């Protein structure tokens, strides 16, 4: 038996490697965009959708300020946020969904830099994201506060590296009352890293998963409202907040 094992050790090693890769793939497989997201990825008469390197750009026919930089949640395909990006672009805001390595923003937290470098004349930005995306967006904003007019969090909060206490930026934080993925004690504690002027809103009946369009996320709670209702309320709150953010626009990148 031992002699046979020694003779074919490489076969056992290969089988073990294949099994390990399969387990990692299963564990890290990303959530996929649903039918609504795929439909929102299509261009129409008022919004042109294009993939440009590390971003998916939603370009409105007549852009207004500010533009939106959107970091996806962890292990969620960027196209899953197309419903939100399409709605923001329909309201006139150029919206960039940033693609992340392995669909994890922790590996691409600085990717907004390329968007800033290629900015349009007089273009201003707000940055934010969903879940892990919001954490990493706040880290980038904390290091480049002068480049932004505001920061938004969707079912997310900053860690100490993304503290916005001294950034002098408008901030909005949205969470669903049925969110099962965000740890409430950590969410509350993170308020110490946000300015006292931060707007906090709880979407009654909303959950974690419906801040995107990718189905139900493991560990979340079932929502009491539809995905469309959560989308509409979120967009309404973001657009109202942007009017405040617009007043803080800086003249230097």
CATH number at residue 45: 3.40.50.1820
How many structural domains are present in the chain? 2
- Which residue has better confidence, 237 or 15? 237
Same domain, 142 and 228: yes
Q: Give the integer Cα–Cα distance in Å for 104 and 108.
A: 7
Same domain, 213 and 234: yes
- What integer pLDDT is reported at residue 5 of this predicted model? 47
- What integer pLDDT is reported at residue 24 of this predicted model? 52
Q: Give the integer Cα–Cα distance in Å for 201 and 67.
A: 22
- What integer pLDDT is reported at residue 245 of this predicted model? 73
Q: Which domain holds residue 14?
A: 1-30
Q: pLDDT grade, residue 251 (50/70/90)?
A: very low
Strands 93-98 and 55-60, by their bridges, are: antiparallel
Please name which of 192, 199, 201, 190 lies closest in space to residue 169, comparing C-alpha atoms.
Answer: 199
Asked if residue 25 belongs to a domain, the reply is: yes
Sheet holding 93-98, edge to edge: 47-52, 55-60, 93-98, 64-71, 125-130, 150-154, 171-176, 199-203
Average pLDDT estimate for 39-65: 97
- What integer pLDDT is reported at residue 23 of this predicted model? 47
At 130, is the secondary structure helix, strand, or coil? strand
Taking only the tens place, the pLDDT of each residue in 68-124 is: 999 999 999 999 999 999 999 999 999 999 999 999 999 999 999 999 999 999 899
Same domain, 21 and 118: no
Q: pLDDT grade, residue 243 (50/70/90)?
A: confident
Same domain, 79 and 25: no
Same domain, 25 and 111: no
- What integer pLDDT is reported at residue 183 of this predicted model? 95
Same domain, 100 and 148: yes
Please name which of 93, 127, 87, 99 lies closest in space to residue 234, comparing C-alpha atoms.
Answer: 87
- What integer pLDDT is reported at residue 54 of this predicted model? 96
Q: CB 122: neighbour CB atoms within 10 A?
A: 8
Asked if residue 191 belongs to a domain, the reply is: yes
Taking only the tens place, the pLDDT of each residue in 170-183 is: 999 999 999 999 99
Asked if residue 252 belongs to a domain, the reply is: no
Asked if residue 48 belongs to a domain, the reply is: yes
Same domain, 13 and 40: no
Same domain, 179 and 214: yes
Supply the mean pLDDT for the chain.
91
Report the share of the chain in percent with pLDDT over 90: 84
Same domain, 167 and 186: yes
Same domain, 44 and 15: no
Same domain, 17 and 82: no
- Token pair, residue 227, equals 């995905």
- What integer pLDDT is reported at residue 252 of this predicted model? 38
Q: pLDDT grade, residue 246 (50/70/90)?
A: confident
Same domain, 72 and 139: yes
Q: Give alpha helix (H) positions in the chain.
A: 2-7, 9-28, 35-40, 82-90, 112-117, 132-143, 184-189, 227-246
Is the confidence at residue 49, as pLDDT, over 60? yes
């Amino acid at each position: 038996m031992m002699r046979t094992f020694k003779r074919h050790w490489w076969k056992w090693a290969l089988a073990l490697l294949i099994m390990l890769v399969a387990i990692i793939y299963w564990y890290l497989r990303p959530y996929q965009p649903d039918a609504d997201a795929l439909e929102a990825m299509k261009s129409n008469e008022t919004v042109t959708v294009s993939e440009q390197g590390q971003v998916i750009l939603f370009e409105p026919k007549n852009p207004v300020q500010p533009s939106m930089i959107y970091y996806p949640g962890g292990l969620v395909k960027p196209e899953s946020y197309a419903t939100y990006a399409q709605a923001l672009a329909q309201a006139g805001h150029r919206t960039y969904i940033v693609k992340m390595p392995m669909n994890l923003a922790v590996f691409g937290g600085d990717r907004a830099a390329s968007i800033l470098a290629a900015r349009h004349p007089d273009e201003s930005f707000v940055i934010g994201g969903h879940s892990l995306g919001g954490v990493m967006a706040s880290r980038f904003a904390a290091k480049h506060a002068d480049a932004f007019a505001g920061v938004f969090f969707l079912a997310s909060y900053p860690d100490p590296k993304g503290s916005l206490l001294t950034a002098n930026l408008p901030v909005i934080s949205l969470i669903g009352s049925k969110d099962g993925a965000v740890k409430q004690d950590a969410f509350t504690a993170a308020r110490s890293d946000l300015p006292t002027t931060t707007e906090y809103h709880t979407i009654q009946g909303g959950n974690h998963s419906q801040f995107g369009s990718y189905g139900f996320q493991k560990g979340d709670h079932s929502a009491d409202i539809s995905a469309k209702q959560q989308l509409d309320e979120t967009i309404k709150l973001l657009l109202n907040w942007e009017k405040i953010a617009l007043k803080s626009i800086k003249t230097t990148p």
